[in-house]
Structures are given as structure tokens and as C-alpha cells.
Amino acid sequence: MSEENYVNREFWDGRYRERESLWSGAPNGTLVAEAGDLPPGQALDVGCGEGADAVWLAGRGWRVTALDVSQVAVERAAARGDENISWVRTDLTVSSPPAGSFDLVSAHYFPIREKAVVRGLLAAVAPGGTLLFVGHDLDGALAHHEHLGGEGPDPRDFFQPSEVAAMLGEDWKILVNETRERVDVPEGNPHHHDTVLRAQRLR
């Protein structure tokens, strides 16, 4: 499987069709920990999958735009019927979210290769808003990649939270930039540590 396939619609549509439910149905623990104290506003959920994060945010009063490259995932998530969530099938390598529009931009385990996509997500954060960018700890991801005999994309080919942090200028304040143990590891999941970036746009 090439990395090109790993990030396209056809690959993810196929993954979702393989199972009735691909993910746990629970929101990401890091989202709950880092966004639980934020006043609700407009949120962008990047790579929404089956919608657990978006539903959690909406339940806390956020109005959510939930994006995914997979049409199957978006249709599955939209079946939840929450009026506070707009479900959108999109490819961020083709179309960027509207600039300055979101009080929270949340991306968990979202594979990004292009700097332009990162810049588009940063631009989408409104002044005073929060960026939450979470990835699997690179050392653990590389060990798992080696365990699989090098099959699949190399984790180093995708932007890590630390690399996104390095792109933030004086308009940003980094609040969290660390690797921590996961508290919500699904059974059989090999990724036990995450790297978490939380930053606030100052202006």
C-alpha cells in the first residue's frame, strides 16, 4: 500500500465498508482532556470518521463542521442526525477550510503530507481560538511499522505535532507540546503513547 493510497477516498471508503463500525464510538480521550475546559463556539473536526468527536463536541454546545475524505464515513456519521453538526466530504489537499472561522480546530491521527494542508488548518483558527493536533508517538509508530515488516506508509512521511509546532509564529502561544501515555487505548491497538500539541492563536 503506497502512502498515496493511504490518504485517498477510495482507500478509506474501502476500509469503512469492511466493517459495520471501524472505531470505538467513543470520543478521543485527548479531545476530552484538552477541550473540556473550552467555551463552546465553532469547531472543525478534521478526519471525523464515524463522528464520535463531533458528537461529543456538539453535546457540549459546539457547532461543528466535521470533515472526512471518505464518503462512506460521512454518510455513516450523518445518520446520527445531530442538527449542530455539518458533515462534509472533502479532500483538504484540494480545498482548504475557510480562514479565521473556527474557535477550535481538532485533528487526531490525521495523515498530512503537504505543508499547504497544515497551513490551511492553521489559517482556519480564529483569533483567540485553539488548535489541537494529536498524533501517535513517532517512536512507537516506527516500532510498529518495523514489526509489520515495513508494510504501509512510513510514519515519518506525515506531519508530526512537533513539526506543526515549529510552524507556529509569534501569533501563537503553545500551551501543550508533549508526549503522553494514552488513557483510552482500544484492545489490540499497538499505539500506547501520543504526541499532543495544543496552541492558541493570539491574533
Does domain 3-19+27-201 bear CATH number 3.40.50.150? yes
Tracing cell 491574533 back to the chain, one arrives at 203
18-40 pLDDT, tens per residue?
A: 767 666 668 999 999 999 999 99
Mean pLDDT, to the nearest integer, of 101-118? Answer: 96
Q: How far apart are CA 44 and CA 151, in angstroms?
A: 31
Q: How far apart are CA 131 and CA 72, in angstroms?
A: 27
Burial of 202 (0-12, 13-18, 19+ CB in 10 A): exposed
- Please choose, from the candidates 18, 119, 8, the residue with its C-alpha nearest in 3D space to the C-alpha of residue 68: 8
| Residue 133 pLDDT greater than 80, yes or no | yes
| Sign of the CA dihedral running 176, 179, 184, 190 | positive
pLDDT value for 112: 93
Chain mean pLDDT for the chain: 86
Domain map (residue ranges) of the chain: 3-19+27-201
49-73 pLDDT, tens per residue?
A: 999 999 999 999 999 999 999 999 9
CB atoms within 10 A of CB 141: 21
> Rounded to two decimals, what is the model's pTM?
0.86
Q: How far apart are CA 199 and CA 157, in angstroms?
A: 23
73-97 pLDDT, tens per residue?
A: 999 999 987 899 999 999 999 999 9
137-182 pLDDT, tens per residue?
A: 875 554 544 545 556 677 678 999 999 999 999 999 999 999 998 8
| Residue 3 pLDDT greater than 50, yes or no | no
Decide which of 80 and 130 is more confident.
130
- Please choose, from the candidates 144, 151, 146, the residue with its C-alpha nearest in 3D space to the C-alpha of residue 191: 144
Q: Which three cell numbers stand for residue 113?
A: 503530507
Q: Give the pLDDT band (50/70/90) at residue 120.
A: very high
The Cα-based distances of 198 to 106, 139, 168, 184, 195 in angstroms read 9, 20, 11, 19, 10
Q: How far apart are CA 10 and CA 14, in angstroms?
A: 6
Going by DSSP bridges, is the β-strand pair 102-108/172-181 parallel, antiparallel, or unpaired?
unpaired
Torsion (CA) 168, 154, 48, 190 in degrees, nearest 10? -110
Q: Side chain identity at 4, as an amino acid letter? A: E
